[in-house]
């Protein structure tokens, strides 16, 4: 097959570029900083992960329940407010959110967590609402008609069937959060952004890459792992949808 | 038995009120299928959904076996009524077995009993229980999904079933097969069934009685024969179609005709007829009619299970039974 | 209010930075459209290649922008452009590729096969079919991709101020480093407004391109 061959060539070429880049980075002494200061790197990496974990966890804890709440019949009339807020909020650049939070709370760890939390809320909220609202109404009608209580409908029908969308929202949010957390250094959050910004201001390739490469790896790895986790968690009957994405 | 008494549903919006169901009174006997028939928007689905209180009643009462539905706990009421809808409403996150056992599970049956019931129902539907147990709805064809939908509604053996155009989305061949299976199953289980349809042929085939609706009002309620023979007004007669005389023929078999006519036709000439002009004694009269019309002699030999001819049928025999002049019959067919 | 006073005193500067920002984003997205749309159309005919391209573009998207800057600066400094317009421009082009390629690909794939058949049946050449049937049908979805790309690059463009690319991020960067809160606010609000306004305008364009029945 001609297509497969082209694909293999391109794939090989891409691996080659990455290998060449890493070799070049090594030769130009880029890893020297990492080798010389492994403790610094580990400390900042840990800080970075903590920032992301804490703010993302809090975002999930708030967004999913709020998303469920606004899709209840009583509040459904107001769901559009949440959807529009989420859409508009996601249009605002991350740096602007961080900067605005900074001017209210001043520099510090709390500011960083709060800003990351705010920016992580919206993708999860939007996907939770969309996931629940996009469920085929006949499924809910059947559940109701068969005598499920509203709590049973939520737990047995709505949440399992919206799970794909909700998890996708959480994944997107976390991956974005890894990148935004690299900016959190600017407002007192620490993390790997420390090395990147220091490297830029000192124009030091080694320091720059010592921050940039781990952040990149962290984002790509998390994206991959969370993608695998989705397949684990999502009910088998809905896995068909995964193949199309 | 289900009894509707002066049931009305009005939707109030800001400056006007719409009457979806208008003062409907109707009784359906236990073990009967009553088909709610009418064009879309006539209120038939609304009326159906009021029975399990998915739609609240504005005024009037609905009784099931003499007990007013408002006196039940709504959740218990729904669990005691089977519910089948057109889009199947199968739960995509659950296996076929889980889907079928939803209501038994809600009612707290034990595992052994649920499994037994699942096997029983799948056998009834003509599907292999083990083959489908762990499969998911999307892996099944439309016809199979709808069978599961019916099985699910039957799971807890409810005395009453509501069916909202359950076969409406299927292609004609599959639909007919499911209708036949459904009639066979109903012959065993004898549920009281309210069945929404917009298809007159389906209504004639499945209904013990048919209730025809227009703009929220019940226009006529009667057996298929009554409705076809004596449509009450212009709307009903137009809705059942110009060929209602012909449709009516599907309600009777050759055997019934012969019984009524006293089989006065001669036996002797029967054997001379070509084999192609034979009709089985249990075939319906519409089939018999088309056999007669397509035979050269204008006759058909009636044969029994053994292939023995028991009588000869002519066009004239129809008149005595249906009261329709042969010429009119012929013109309707052509 | 301090903010109002700041804006009043610095509005020419604010306009200059906005213009810089718009230029950077506009140039990057234009290049992306010119390359991404044809590429998206091309891979729509090649399933295996499309999978690879979309996967790679997806991975590029997960790379945090500031990290990508950190990786590009050392490479580009070899040709003497480590800091400034070029790395920012290249990064924005890379980031805006995915939404544009993906949406073009999906849009072309989703053109009703009956329409395609009809066009072939009417004797249209491949080129005519593409320009008269498939692209017009696909345009709203492609436009949605462009809109996503623009909003995304406005945000990343703000971060690019840290590598000397100018634009409204400069107020945020300078404001934070000198603890001048009003300047930070002015920059953040201006760049947010820019994103919201552009999103709204492109949204209207997208609606206008959609067939009337789909509105």
The whole-number average pLDDT for the span B213-231 is 90
Q: How far apart are CA B99 and CA B103, in angstroms?
A: 9
- Written as one string, the DSSP assignment of B47-61 is HHHHHTTSS--SEEE
Nearest CA in chain C to A222: C62
Contact C73, C85 (CB under 8 A): no
Alpha-helical segments (H) within C44-134: 47-62, 65-76, 85-109, 113-121, 126-129
The yes-or-no reply on A/C contact (3 CB pairs or more, < 8 Å) is yes
C-alpha–C-alpha distance, residues A46 and B323, integer Å: 93
Chain A, nearest residue to C160 by Cα: A95
Contacts of B79 in chain A (CB under 8 A): 146-147
Contacts of B162 in chain A (CB under 8 A): 145
Chain B residues whose C-beta sits inside 8 Å of any chain A C-beta: 49, 52, 54, 75-81, 83, 85-95, 102-103, 106, 136-138, 152-153, 162
Instruction: Tell me which chain B residues have a C-beta less than 8 angstroms from the C-beta of A157.
Output: 91, 93
Contact call for B and A: 3+ CB–CB distances under 8 Å? yes
Q: Is the pLDDT of residue B75 over 90?
A: yes
Are there at least 3 beta-carbon pairs closer than 8 Å between B and C? no
N residues, chain B: 334
How many other β-carbons are positioned within 10 Å of the β-carbon of residue A82?
21
In three-state secondary structure terms, B219 is strand
- Which 136-155 residues of chain A touch chain B by CB within 8 A? 136, 138-139, 141-149, 152
Q: Tell me the pLDDT of chain A averaged across its residues.
A: 88
Name the percent of chain A lying above pLDDT 70. 95
Of A210, A111, A196, nearest to C159 (Cα)? Answer: A196
Identify the pLDDT of residue B268. 43
Closest to B121 in 3D by CA, of B111, B132, B106, B108: B132
CB-based burial label for C95 (10 Å; 0-12, 13-18, 19+): buried
- For residues A137-166, give the mean pLDDT: 94
With beta carbons under 8 A apart, name residues in chain C contacting A30.
74
Residue B215: CB partners within 8 Å, gap ≥ 6? B22, B41, B42, B43
pLDDT score of B150 more than 60: yes
Give the pLDDT band (50/70/90) at residue C183.
very high
C74: contact with A, CB 8 A cutoff: yes
Mean pLDDT, chain B, as a whole number?
86
Confidence of residue B262 (pLDDT cuts 50, 70, 90): low
pLDDT at C15 over 80: yes
In this prediction, residue B323 carries a pLDDT of 65
Tell me the angle at which helices C135-159 and C2-43 cross, rounded to the nearest 10 degrees: 140
Beta strands in A78-146 (DSSP E): none
Question: In chain B, pLDDT over 90 holds for what percent of residues?
Answer: 53
Q: Which of A5, A12, A31, A96 to mutate to test the interface with C (most CBs of C within 10 A)?
A: A96
Do strands B192-197 and B33-37 pair parallel, antiparallel, or not at all (unpaired)? parallel
- Residue B329 · residue B245 · CB < 8 Å: yes
| pLDDT exceeds 70 at position C40 | yes
Report how far Cα C65 is from the mean position of its chain's Cα atoms. Answer: 13
Kindly tell me if the per-residue pLDDT of B240 is higher than 60: yes
Domain boundaries of chain C, sorted by first residue? 2-214
Question: Which chains are adjacent to chain A, needing at least 3 Cβ pairs under 8 Å?
Answer: B, C
CB spacing of A99 vs C64 below 8 angstroms: no
Contacting subunits of C (3+ beta carbon pairs below 8 A): A
| pLDDT higher than threshold 60 for residue B274 | no
Residues C100, C32: contact at Cβ < 8 Å?
A: yes
So what's the pLDDT on residue A7?
76
> Which one has a higher pLDDT value, A121 or A30?
A121
CATH of domain A2-244: 1.10.3720.10
CB contact under 8 A, A238 and B102: no
Q: What does the pLDDT look like over A189-211, one tens digit per residue?
A: 889 999 999 988 888 888 888 88
pLDDT, residue C126, reads 81
Mean pLDDT, range A134-144, rounded to an integer: 93
Kind and range of the H or E run holding B178: helix B172-189
Number of Cβ atoms within 10 Å of the Cβ of A1: 7
CA distance B49 to A144: 11
Domain boundaries, given as residue ranges, for chain A: 2-244
**Contact C82/A at CB under 8 A:** yes
Q: A103: which chain C residues are within 8 Å (Cβ-Cβ)?
A: 181, 184-185, 188
Asked whether residue B121 carries a pLDDT value surpassing 90, the answer given is: yes
As a whole number of angstroms, the distance between CA B253 and CA C98 comes to 68
For residue C104, is pLDDT > 90?
yes
Least Cα separation, residue A223 to chain B (angstroms): 25
Distance from CA of C212 to the nearest CA of A (A): 23
* Integer CA distances (angstroms), B77 to A81, A201, B82, B203, in order: 36, 72, 10, 27
Give contacts of C185 with chain A, Cβ < 8 Å. 99-100, 103
Which residue is associated with the tokens 């408002």? B70
CA–CA separation, C95 vs C150, rounded Å?
10
Tell me: pLDDT of C58 over 90: no
Per CATH, the architecture of C2-214 is what?
Orthogonal Bundle (1.10)
pLDDT band at A16 (very low <50, low <70, confident <90, very high): confident
DSSP state of C134: I
Instruction: Say how far apart CA B131 and CA B144 lie, in whole Å.
Output: 13
Which residues of chain A make contact with B87, given a CB cutoff of 8 A? 136, 138
Tally of residues, chain C? 215
Q: What is the mean pLDDT of residues B239-245?
A: 76
CA atoms within 13 A on the CB side of B86: 11
Write out the DSSP string of C105-118.
Answer: HHHHHTS-HHHHHH
The partner residue sitting opposite A145, judged by closest CB among B76, B78, B93, is B78
Average pLDDT estimate for B119-131:
92
User: Both tokens of residue B135?
Assistant: 């499969």
Task: Record the tokens describing residue B129, joined without a space.
Answer: 């229980």
Rounded to whole angstroms, the Cα distance separating C123 from B282 reads 57
Q: Is C69 in Cβ contact with A96 (below 8 Å)?
A: no
* ipTM (interface predicted TM): 0.87
Average pLDDT over residues A220-233: 90
What's the rounded mean pLDDT across residues C172-195?
92
Instruction: Output the six-digit token pair for A224.
Output: 């991959």
Interface partners of chain B (CB pairs < 8 Å, 3 or more) are A
Cα torsion B115, B118, B123, B126: sign: negative
* Structure confidence by residue, pLDDT tens digits, C120-173: 888 888 888 888 888 888 888 999 999 999 999 999 999 999 988 888 999 999
**For residue A236, what pLDDT is reported?**
79
Q: What is the mean pLDDT of residues B45-70?
A: 93
Quick one: pLDDT at residue B285? Answer: 82
Rounded average pLDDT over B52-73: 93
Asked if C62 reaches chain A (Cβ–Cβ under 8 Å), the answer is yes
Distance, in angstroms, between A26 CA and closest chain C CA?
A: 12
Sign of the CA dihedral running C61, A45, A126, A169: positive
- Residue contact C192–A96, C-beta within 8 A: yes
- Give the mean pLDDT of A89-102: 91
Residue A171 scores a pLDDT above 80: yes
Beta bridge pairs of residue B18:
B11
Please tell me the predicted confidence (pLDDT) of residue B266: 47
CA–CA dist B297, B314 (Å, integer): 9
């Amino acid at each position: 097959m001609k297509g497969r061959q082209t694909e293999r060539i391109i794939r090989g070429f891409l691996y080659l570029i990455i290998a060449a880049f890493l070799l070049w980075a090594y030769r130009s002494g880029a890893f020297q900083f990492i080798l010389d200061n492994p403790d610094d790197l580990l400390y900042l990496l840990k800080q970075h992960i903590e920032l992301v974990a804490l703010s993302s966890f809090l975002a999930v804890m708030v967004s999913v329940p709020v998303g469920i709440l606004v899709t209840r019949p009583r509040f459904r009339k107001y769901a559009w407010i949440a959807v529009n807020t989420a859409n508009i909020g996601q249009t605002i650049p991350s740096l602007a959110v961080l900067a605005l939070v900074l001017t209210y709370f001043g520099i510090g760890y709390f500011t960083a967590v709060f800003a990351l939390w705010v920016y992580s809320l919206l993708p999860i909220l939007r996907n939770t609402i969309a996931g629940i609202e996009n469920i085929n109404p006949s499924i809910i009608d059947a559940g109701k008609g068969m005598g499920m209580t509203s709590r049973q409908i939520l737990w047995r029908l709505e949440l399992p069937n919206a799970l794909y969308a909700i998890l996708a929202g959480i994944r997107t949010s976390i991956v974005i959060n890894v990148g935004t957390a690299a900016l959190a250094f600017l407002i007192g959050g620490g993390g790997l952004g420390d090395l990147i910004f220091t490297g830029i201001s000192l124009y030091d390739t080694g320091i720059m890459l010592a921050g940039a490469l781990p952040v990149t790896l962290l984002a790509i790895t998390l994206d991959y792992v969370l993608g695998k986790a989705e397949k684990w968690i999502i009910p088998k009957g809905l896995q068909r949808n995964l193949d199309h994405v | 038995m289900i009894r509707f008494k002066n049931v009305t549903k009005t939707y109030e919006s800001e400056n006007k009120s719409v009457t979806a169901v208008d003062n409907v009174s109707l009784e359906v006997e236990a073990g009967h299928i009553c088909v709610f028939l009418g064009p879309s928007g006539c209120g038939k689905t609304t009326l159906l959904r009021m029975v399990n209180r998915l739609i609240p009643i504005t005024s009037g009462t609905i009784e099931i076996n003499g007990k007013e539905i408002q006196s039940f706990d709504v959740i218990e009421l729904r669990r005691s009524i089977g519910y089948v809808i057109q889009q199947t409403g199968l739960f995509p996150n659950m296996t076929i077995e889980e889907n079928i056992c939803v209501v038994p599970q809600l009612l707290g049956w034990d595992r052994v009993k649920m499994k037994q019931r699942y096997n029983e129902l799948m056998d009834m539907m003509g599907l292999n229980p083990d083959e489908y147990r762990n499969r998911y709805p999307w892996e099944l064809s439309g016809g199979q999904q709808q069978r599961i939908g019916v099985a699910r509604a039957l799971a807890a053996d409810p005395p009453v079933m509501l069916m909202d155009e359950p076969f409406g989305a299927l292609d004609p061949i599959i639909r007919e097969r499911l209708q036949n299976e459904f009639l066979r199953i109903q012959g065993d289980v004898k549920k009281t069934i309210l069945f929404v349809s917009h298809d007159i042929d389906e209504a004639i085939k499945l209904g013990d009685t048919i209730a025809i609706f227009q703009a929220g009002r019940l226009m006529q309620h009667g057996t298929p024969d009554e409705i076809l023979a004596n449509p009450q007004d212009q709307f009903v007669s137009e809705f059942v179609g110009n060929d209602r005389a012909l449709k009516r023929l599907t309600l009777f078999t050759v055997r019934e005709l012969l019984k009524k006519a006293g089989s006065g036709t001669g036996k002797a000439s029967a054997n001379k007829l070509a084999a192609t002009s034979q009709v089985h004694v249990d075939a319906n009269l519409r089939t018999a009619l088309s056999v007669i019309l397509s035979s050269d002699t204008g006759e058909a030999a009636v044969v029994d299970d053994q292939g023995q001819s028991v009588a000869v049928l002519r066009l004239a025999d129809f008149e005595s039974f249906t009261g329709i002049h042969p010429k009119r019959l012929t013109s309707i067919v052509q | 209010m301090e903010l109002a006073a700041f804006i009043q005193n610095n509005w020419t500067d604010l306009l200059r930075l906005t213009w810089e920002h718009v230029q950077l984003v506009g140039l990057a997205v234009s290049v992306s459209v010119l390359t991404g749309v044809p590429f998206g159309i091309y891979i729509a005919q090649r399933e295996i290649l499309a999978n690879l391209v979309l996967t790679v573009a997806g991975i590029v998207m997960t790379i945090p922008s500031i990290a990508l800057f950190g990786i590009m600066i050392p490479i580009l400094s070899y040709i003497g452009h480590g800091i400034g317009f070029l790395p920012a421009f290249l990064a924005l082009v890379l980031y805006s590729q995915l939404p544009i390629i993906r949406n073009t690909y999906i849009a072309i794939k989703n053109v009703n096969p009956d329409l395609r058949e009809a066009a072939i049946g009417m004797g249209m050449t491949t080129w005519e079919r593409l320009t008269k049937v498939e692209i017009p049908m696909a345009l709203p979805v492609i436009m949605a991709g462009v809109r996503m790309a623009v909003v995304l690059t406005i945000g990343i463009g703000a971060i690019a101020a840290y590598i000397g690319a100018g634009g409204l991020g400069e107020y945020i960067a300078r404001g934070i480093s000198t603890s001048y809160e009003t300047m930070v606010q002015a920059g953040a609000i201006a760049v947010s407004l820019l994103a919201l306004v552009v999103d709204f305008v492109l949204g209207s364009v997208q609606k206008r391109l959609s067939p009337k029945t789909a509105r």
